[in-house]
Amino acid sequence: MMQISLRWLGGLLCMMVIPMTAQRVLSLDSCRQMALQNNKQLGISKLKQNVAANIRKSARTKYLPHISAIGTYEHTSEAISLLNDAQKKSLPQMGTEAVGGLQPQMAGLENSFAQMGNAFVQLGVPPAQVQGMMGDLQKNMTGLTAGLQQILNAQGQQIVDALNTDTRNVWAGSILFTQPIFMGGSIIALNKMADINERIAENTLDARRQATLYHIDMAYWQVVSLHHKKQLAESYLDLVKKLDSDVHKMIDEGVATRSDGLSVDVKVNEAEMAVMKVDDGLVLSRMLLNQLCGIPLNEQVILEDEQSTDLSEENAEGAGVSGDASVAMANRPELKMLQNTVDLSKQATNVLRAGNLPQVGLTGGYAISNPNLLNGYQKQFGGFWHIGVQVRVPLWNWGDVMYKVRASKGATSIANLELAEAREKIELQVNQSNFKMGEANKKLVMAQANIQRANENLRTANLGFQEGVITPATVLEAQTAWLQAQSQKIDAEIDVKLSQVDLQKALGTLE
């Protein structure tokens, strides 16, 4: 009863542990998706694409009017004075000076009044009446001059007060708008450059994406290759161990020599070392694949193609695939970026050439200030609308723009040469990839044929050894030939896969 309970408890523990330690099975597509999500350079390229899009939107605003508001306040230690100090003193005394200047004329009038009084007396007017008349007239003249003096002094003081401009505190503000009308084509060229920069960012992202897929494919098939190599090495180790056991039994029975046993022992040691090496390489390859996929380095995952016993069936689908260089010319992001560089250089030349052309712009706005002079000098806010056209015509710059245009055209020629060279190299790369693809398929066919002969050779050697007509050395040779044939088959299958990836990379169709 106790044993049954322990068995039941052990089974329960196994059921609890197995789901927790179950390994993930990843296909090539899932590894690709994980690598695309984890790659930091792809994230940087996407951010650069957003930057280029915002720069393009910014360039579009150059066509539109720009409006800005300006406000200022200024305090000065001295005020602007329209009158000097002598004028400020003389204008309030203007009436006094004027009346003072009339004193000789007033004295002459008094003499004339006295003569008129004498004449009235001689005519028979009573002297008392004449004296009263002359006194009233004298009073009126005196009052008239006094009133004139006061009026003129007051007017002079008003003039001084009116021209007293207290400009020590000045407030001013304006709203300005500028609308470019013709800028020599520079705005159009800048917008085209912004569009080209956005396309460069897109092509850079595409190139990063293809490079990421290329690296993950290489790492994936490297792990698959080493996994099958490890299985092969372990199978070979089992073969030589079985042979080693049989040989030592034959030595004990006296039908084999000690030399035969030592030869087999050496092969066992070599097989064990081969297993150890391939296992170490597989561990490192898995760590690289995990790093590219963004999963922990020590996490154990199973690749879908590791469980496949024969990759040649999958390779048969792409056995006849070949690439045309024209496809690469249309799809390679590197060529697109070089073409973008050529176009960008041409637009840069247009921007420089605009430096020798007239520039016309419309300006306008509303200005306000306190104090203002719109209706005399006023200590209050006043403003006005204004609009105008500004024209800038370059006359002489010692050939500065011309030299810059020539330099830019030289840069365009360099970019065109680099583009032509890249086309030639990519065409060569496509042809080389096609050749490698055909060579890999031929090697696979030969390896598959060689497998059959190696299997038959090993089977015949084992039968002969069991019947005692073949020596252990011959069996070792057959096992070594079998190992080599199996290894060549794995290499050929992986080479076909990698050559397909290389061709897709060369054509720019790796997706």
pLDDT of residue 373: 79
The crossing angle, in degrees rounded to 10, of helices 258-293 and 186-253 is 160
Which amino acid does the sequence have at 429? Q
Checking if the pLDDT of 1 tops 60, the result is: no
Asked if residue 434 lies in contact with residue 319, where contact means CB atoms within 8 angstroms, the answer is no
Q: Is 182 helix (H, G, I), strand (E, B) or coil?
A: strand
pLDDT of residue 165: 72
Q: Which position has the higher pLDDT, 145 or 451? A: 451
| Chain segment 172-231, per-residue pLDDT in tens | 999 999 999 999 999 999 999 999 999 999 999 999 999 999 999 999 999 999 999 999
Q: Which position has the higher pLDDT, 114 or 340? A: 340
- Name every residue whose Cβ is closer than 8 Å to that of residue 226 and which is 6 or more positions away in sequence: 278, 281, 282, 285
157 HSE (CA, 13 A, CB side): 10
The residue-averaged pLDDT of 231-250 equals: 89
Q: Give, in order, the Cα–Cα distances in Å from 476 to each of 161, 249, 458.
A: 126, 17, 9
Neighbours of 78 (CB within 10 A): 7
Find the helix or strand (DSSP H, E) in which 383 lies: strand 382-392
Q: Is the peptide bond before 371 cis (omega within 30 degrees of 0)?
A: yes
Q: Which two tokens stand for residue 486?
A: 């199996």
Q: What is the DSSP letter of 298?
A: T
DSSP 415-460: HHHHHHHHHHHHHHHHHHHHHHHHHHHHHHHHHHHHHHHHHHHHHH
- Name every residue whose Cβ is closer than 8 Å to that of residue 327 and which is 6 or more positions away in sequence: 507, 508, 509
pTM of the model: 0.76
Helices (H) then strands (E): counts for the chain = 14, 6
| Chain segment 67-88, per-residue pLDDT in tens | 999 999 988 887 777 677 777 6
